[in-house]
Amino acid sequence: MFEAISENRLNTSIDEDLKTLGVSLLSEWDVLAFLDRHGTNLVTAEQIAKFLGYDKGTVGAALDAVTSAGLVERSRSSQGVRLYRLPPIIDAAQSHAFIELMNIARTRGGRIQLIRTFQQRTKHTETRKRNGLHLA
């Protein structure tokens, strides 16, 4: 029972940190983690997709989202290739959230907790959609 309580607390902490960062999808987190591990990269979205096991469209959308959130900077496209990098996070709350999540994601158990948190978010969103108003 104690393990379930601490797991729930961890899930809540992860969810709050993800909200602070503005990350809503696992693919967005995976792109951030990839760029954090590999530093500045001169690549295409298609290459990142191959490395991460996603399709190009999913990675393109994730890159757009994290770039819009200010978590990633990218150069102009030159022959389809861009320079991607993680700029220093100036906002203290975002910086703390990012560091906490990266520390959690360094272990297999932490990565599983991250995935579970994203799965719970998806279930919650689907439930809200089903329970909303429906037109006949």
Domains in the chain (CATH in brackets) are: 7-124 (1.10.10.10)
Chain-centroid distance of CA 100 in Å reads 13
pLDDT, mean of residues 49-74: 95
Question: For residues 18 and 29, what is the distance between their CA atoms, to the nearest angstrom?
Answer: 9
Whole-prediction pTM: 0.81
DSSP label of 39:
-
Q: Among positive and negative, which fits the CA dihedral 49, 23, 98, 119?
A: negative
Does 65 score more than 90 pLDDT?
A: yes
Structure-model confidence comparison of residues 8 and 53, the more confident one: 53
- What angle do the packed helices 26-38 and 45-52 form, to 10 degrees? 100
- Radius of gyration of the chain, Cα coordinates, nearest whole angstrom: 16
pLDDT for the residue 52: 96
What is the tens place of the pLDDT at every residue in 2-45? 454 466 666 688 999 999 999 999 999 999 999 999 988 888 89
Does 64 score more than 80 pLDDT?
A: yes
